[in-house]
Structure formats: structure tokens, C-alpha cells
Amino acid sequence: MQIIKRNGAEEPFRIEKIIHAVEKANATVEDALRLTEKQIRRIADAVVISCEELGRTPTVEEIQDLVENHIMAHGAFEVAKNYITYRYTRSLIRKSNTTDDRILSLIECNNEEAKQENSNKNPVVNSTQRDYIAGEVSRDITNRILLPQDIVDAHNEGIIHFHDSDYYAQHMHNCDLVNLEDMLQNGTVITGTLIERPHSFSTACNIATQIIAQVASNQYGGQSISLAHLAPFVQVSREKIRKAVAEEMAAVGASVSDEMIEAIAETRLKEEIRRGVQTIQYQVVTLLTTNGQAPFVTVFMYLGEAKNEQEKHDLAMIIREVLEQRIQGVKNEKGVWVTPAFPKLIYVLEEDNIREGSPYWDLTRLAAKCTARRMVPDYISEKKMLELKGDVYACMGCRSFLTPDRFTDAGVGNIANAGNYEPGKHKYYGRFNQGVVTISLPDVALSSGGDMDLFWKIFDERLELCYRALMCRHERLKGTLSDAAPILWQYGACARLKKGEPIDRLLYDGYSTISLGYAGLYECVKYMTGKSHTDPEATPFALQVMQHMNDACKAWKARHNIDFSLYGTPLESTTYKFAKCLQRRFGVIPGITDKGYITNSYHVHVTEKINAFDKLAFEAQFQALSPGGAISYVEVPDLQGNLDAVLEVMKYIYDHILYAELNTKSDYCQVCGYDGEISIVEEDGKLKWKCPRCGNTDQDKMNVARRTCGYIGTQYWNQGRTQEIRERVLHL
């Protein structure tokens, strides 16, 4: 068995350390109050059993808590008191160098928490280490100086999660919907260089990747671009190529018809589209931002954004090429085609593509093939989004959605000075999210002890805590000058403000959002009602909990004219943190805290048997109550030979739910060439990835792709998330 030290590093569990610590405390009390050697051994053995029951690697603090509990269980209260005093004294000494220890463990690459914090960051790479080291210093400043102590304490205890505290010291925001159209059509500036309107599709794609990289280095969340903003440059290239072909024919004295020139031009145009899309695919995969990872970018594919039929046709050509290249994948270091994590793809299901015989049905079949092979694209229903939001637009990354535009109708005007602003037309590109704070719903329930009146009282107290934490986020952004991130605030990604101009105007009137996240609705409802939230008797309570959070957001919005919005948090490392905190605070409660993870947002528990269509129908009602962002998924087997099943799910998504995805597996063992599912096995009390053919467990010699939080992860996950992945049941 392993343990996690305070600096995040792992080391083997040694029972003699427990025995020695208890013996030292034992020696400080009178003979009559001392434990016997046999009792000390029993205490140590009981701690070992308790650690094994956790089903994950325990931390040093958890082990020490268990030691205290078992000493007191033996009635040795004086020994326990002295043991606690010793712990407290040692903690005071450690406080002076905790940050130093964590930084040193990062440099030496033995910080297990950092290794598994982000499934798309490689912690041994220098750029990632620099980001993590800077993050540790920033987090230390944030916790000691910038945030109120009760918010820091609540975060540390797992009552709330103050997201991305390592970026809080800087004036940075969460995620955005890049106004690529304005930047391409009206020009932009990248690192002091003027970039004018491109004169070809391939150049537009190249500029887009540079914009993506710059944006990613100036914020800490996801970003989205739309292929519709690249579509006009297909016609630019078409005209340029057509002219070149005509000149070539004339130069050699060839007499060819306009139709022949057109055919040659279209062939060359398709090749240019292929090169342009390839630029986006490979640049995004190979770029490393200042955050030490590939840009977390989403590509939005919506035919309805085209301004005319020719542009729609050209957009369809781009989408087709994107899908075909993603089906192929990218080559790993062994030259084998594998599944990349980014860019994430979203395909909008609409009347023009959802049914056989519709004009773009062939694109939808291609999307189904891509999903079956590479897990993307994900799907947004135009029909349901129009019902729920009144407009169709991309999310900002994996699931964070802007609120519907209200500032345009209110006559606020072009406060971002966007070059493509159209009076009276709703605006989404160029908008952003200020930040996220997540409430742990299971902690609210467990803190109430099951008393329903107390539950609502504690719930309101915790929501007030979240509100104050979110206002800290907001206040931190206030006063930020456009000079802090020129690509965002001066050169079009979010705005075109003047140098030295504060961004404050963009924080109000719904131009940007700020998100109240939530996690563990299933566990909350299960504890309070004794039933899963899928049970008809428990569902009303689950919906009531959701509505209560929406009501809080509405009240905060009215108070400040800021668009607070409820957000289904994509727990990655936080699922493990919350689970550990619940176990530490309330012990191991069967069905509630007995796992190394808690459930993402409103999702049906991963172990609950339910078919794909029932799951989507059930979760749709919770998506409607998560206006700040939510995504549902169904877990499916390999469907590459059964595209009809994929298409049936897609049609169901169109009619029933706003945003959903299909999860499958895409793995490869570099040792033996196995390309089936890499297994998760338990060895020495720890979950490991293992090739079922050759037994390879070296994570550096395998490619594993799993969707965890709305996006695909291709590094590896903490023990809690790995357990959650292992326990997923199929829905189809």
C-alpha cells in the first residue's frame, strides 16, 4: 500500500511509523494511563484495515486522523491529547516551508497529485513544471493574502471548490467564445505584428491557430471557435485559384471551357481545404501554451451560421474535411494512428442534416463514423437549444455556456467595440466567463444529518459562501486594464478596447457570465431520500435542489446586474478531492462516501443500469436547469460496425436533449501493438492501466483516450477518476 505525503509525493506505507508515533505519545503520560504494546499494535492494525477500506491511496493527514480515532476508541484520551498536540506543533513548523516542499517535489517529478491533476498536461515537461511551480506560488499568495480565510478554509475542507486558485493572483478569466470573424475579417495584432485580412483559406487557418495559442496563454479555461468564420475564405481561395488556372491555360495556349477551368479549380480548392484543416489539427495538437498544455479549444460546426447558400456549401466542405481527418487521427511516436484530445469538435444537429434525405445527411453519417472511431464530435440539438435559449451558439470549451444575449435588446450597444458588430443582432462571439466556484451538494446533505429543515438552512449558508467567493472572482477582474492581455481586450478576441482602458464595462449587463458550479446531486439526493434521483419518488427533490440554486443565481443577478448562471461542473481532479474530504469529515458511508469519486453534476451514477435513451430523457430535465452549462453522455461499446445505432442516438439527442456525447474507448499499447481496450486493474491497493495482451503497465508506452469531463483526456487520471472510469456501465 502507498501513502500520499504532504508535498504530494507517494511513498510505501510503513506500519512501524504509526507504532513509533503512538509509542512517543504514550511515553509522555503517566504509567497508569499508558497503552500496552498489544494495544498499540491493535491500533496500528486497525488503521491499516481502515486505509484498505478506503479503496484508494490515503494521505498522511487521513492516516493521522485514523490514529487519533483509534487511540480514543481504546479510551486512552491523554495519549490522544498528546498525539494531537504533537501533530499541531509539527504543523506549525511545516507551514513555513509547505510551498517550498511542493515546488521541490514538482521539480523532481514525484508529486503524484500534480501528475494526475490535469489529464492533458504532462508534468515532467519543463513548460508544464514552470506553470505548476508558478501556480504553487500564486496559490500560496491567494490563500494567505488575497482570499478571505473562511473561503480558503471551506475550499480546503471540500465544502466548496474555488476553481483555478493558482491563476487567481493574476487578473485572468476562465473561458471565452473567440470572435474569430472580427479578427480575420478586420485584422488583428499578434505579439506586436499586424495581421491583415488573409487572402486564402489556408492562410486564414494558419492565423486561426496562432490566435488560438495566444488566447490560451492569456486565460486558463477553454475557448471555442466557429468554422463558419473560416468559410468565407473558401470563396476567396476559389476566386484566386480560378484566376490562376485561367492564366495557366492561357499561358500554354490551351483552349479550355469555363466548366473545365471550374473543375480544375475545385480540385485544387479541395486540396487547399485539406491543407488548411490539417494545419489546424496538427498545430493545435503540437502547440504548447504557457500553461504547459495544448490549447483547450473547441471547434463549432453549425451549418445554420452560414450567411448564404454558397457559404453553407463551403462550410459543409470544411466540416467534411475536419471529420475525415479526425477519423484518421494523428500518429503517435511509433507512427500509429491514435485519438487526439484536441481540438474538441461539436456538430449541430439541425433540420438540414438530421434525417435521411435531408441536404446534409451525408455529413451526419460521417459525424457518426467519426464518433464511433474517435469519440467526437459531440452533439448540440438546434431544436432543443432554440427552445431553451432562443439562440444557437457554441459553448466556451467543454460545456460552459453563455446566457442568452440580453444587452443587445436592452440597447447597451457595442461595448466591446467589435469590428463585426451589427446593431440589433444578438452577440455571442467575444463574450467570456469570469470564473467558477462549485458547491459540494453531498457535503450539504451530510452536514444536515438527513434533517430536511436543517438541509435547506445549511444549503442557504453554503450558497451565501459561494456568492461571496464568486464576488471575489468578479472584484479581482474589476480594474483590469486591456494591456494585461492585448490579444483578448485590444485586438478582437473578446474586445477592441483602447490601451490603458479597463475591462469593467464587459463584466456587467450579461456581456460575460460568472458560474455557480455544483457537484454530486446523486449522492445528495441518495442521502436525503434513501433513493437515487432517478427514482420517481426522489426526482422532485432533486429538481427542487436545482431550482433553489437557480433562484439564488437570479437573486444575485438582480442585485448586481451580473449574469450569475448555474453550471454543471466538469469534475476532473476535484471529484477525488471532494470524495476524500467527505470521507475525512463523515467517514465511509455505504452508497454515499464509499468511493474515490463523487458524481459529476446531475449525472446518473456511473454504476446505475439504465439504457441510453432513458438516460438522455431523464438528464434532459436537469440540463434545462443548468443554463450556465451542462453535457450528458451515454457509455457505448465499439460501434464502428453499427453506425445505425449511433445515428439512432443522434436522432434522439436532436429531439430530446440540448447537448450530449457518446463515450467509447480508443487505446493502443506501444509494446505489443494491441489496439483494443486497455484495462484498469488493482495491484498493491492501487489502480493501474494494463495491456490485457502483454501486461504492459508503463503509461509512457501506451496511448489511452477516455472522456472524463466533457472532453477527452490522454494523459492519466487520479485514483478517484480512474475508479469512476473502471466502474462505468454500458448504456447501449
Q: CA 195 to CA 183: how far, in whole Å?
A: 9
Q: Is the pLDDT of residue 4 over 90?
A: no
Q: Is the pLDDT of residue 290 over 60?
A: no
CATH class belonging to 148-174+400-599? alpha beta
Q: CA 574 to CA 113: how far, in whole Å?
A: 11
Residue pLDDT, tens place only, 113-152: 544 555 455 556 666 666 767 777 788 888 888 999 999 9
- Beta 679-683 vs 686-690: how paired, if at all? antiparallel
Read off the pLDDT band of 332 (50, 70, 90): confident
Among 98-112, 177-191, 303-317, where is mean pLDDT lowest? Answer: 98-112
- Residue of 82, 202, 400, 600 marked catalytic: 400
Count H helices, E strands: the chain? 24, 22
- Residue of 433, 482, 532, 718 marked catalytic: 433
396 has catalytic annotation = yes
Q: Is the pLDDT of residue 310 over 90?
A: yes
Residue pLDDT, tens place only, 602-658: 999 999 999 999 999 999 999 999 999 999 999 999 999 999 999 999 999 999 999
Q: CA 637 to CA 647: how far, in whole Å?
A: 14
Q: Which residues pair with 380 in a beta bridge?
A: 348, 659
524 has catalytic annotation = no
Q: How far is CA 451 from CA 85, 108, 496, 528, 534, in A?
A: 34, 48, 53, 8, 21
- Residue of 175, 317, 494, 709 marked catalytic: 175
567 has catalytic annotation = yes
- pLDDT on residue 119: 47
Q: CA 172 to CA 161: how far, in whole Å?
A: 18
709 has catalytic annotation = no
Q: Which residue has the cell 512517543?
A: 24
- pLDDT on residue 646: 97
Q: Is the pLDDT of residue 94 over 60?
A: no
Q: CA 575 to CA 570: how far, in whole Å?
A: 9
**In sequence order, which ranges of 343-440 are alpha helices (DSSP H)?**
361-374, 382-389
Q: Is the pLDDT of residue 599 over 60?
A: yes
- pLDDT on residue 123: 58
Each domain of the chain, given as residue ranges in start order, spans 1-96, 148-174+400-599
The x, y and z cell numbers of residue 707, run together, are 472522456
The x, y and z cell numbers of residue 549, run together, are 440554486
Q: How far is CA 17 from CA 7, 41, 60, 64, in A?
A: 18, 11, 11, 11
Alpha carbon 45 to its chain's center: 40
Q: Considering the chain, what is the average pLDDT of its residues?
A: 91
Q: CA 561 to CA 558: how far, in whole Å?
A: 6
- pLDDT on residue 285: 83
Alpha carbon 618 to its chain's center: 23
Give the pLDDT mean for 422-446: 97
- Residue of 435, 710, 713, 720 marked catalytic: 710
Percentage helix, strand, coil for the chain under 3-state DSSP, each rounded to 5: 50, 15, 35
Alpha carbon 507 to its chain's center: 23
- pLDDT on residue 98: 55
Give the pLDDT mean for 271-292: 84
Residue pLDDT, tens place only, 444-467: 999 999 999 999 999 999 999 999
- pLDDT on residue 121: 53
| In the chain, % of residues over pLDDT 70 | 92
Q: How far is CA 473 from CA 133, 511, 569, in A?
A: 22, 16, 17
Q: CA 463 to CA 442: how far, in whole Å?
A: 14
400 has catalytic annotation = yes
Q: Is the pLDDT of residue 398 over 90?
A: no
Q: CA 643 to CA 634: how far, in whole Å?
A: 15
- Residue of 112, 113, 350, 572 marked catalytic: 572
433 has catalytic annotation = yes
Read off the pLDDT band of 288 (50, 70, 90): low
- Residue of 428, 567, 576, 633 marked catalytic: 567
672 has catalytic annotation = no
- pLDDT on residue 572: 79
- Count Cβ atoms within 10 A of the Cβ of residue 568 and give its class: 0-12 exposed, 13-18 middle, 19 or more buried: buried
Q: Give the count of alpha carbons within 13 A of 455, CB side only.
A: 20
Q: Is the pLDDT of residue 667 over 50?
A: yes
| In the chain, % of residues over pLDDT 90 | 72
Q: For 159, which DSSP code?
A: S
**Under 8 Å between Cβ of 158 and 580:** yes
Give the pLDDT mean for 290-296: 69
Q: Is the pLDDT of residue 353 over 60?
A: yes
- Residue of 7, 174, 202, 515 marked catalytic: 174
Q: CA 316 to CA 227: how far, in whole Å?
A: 10
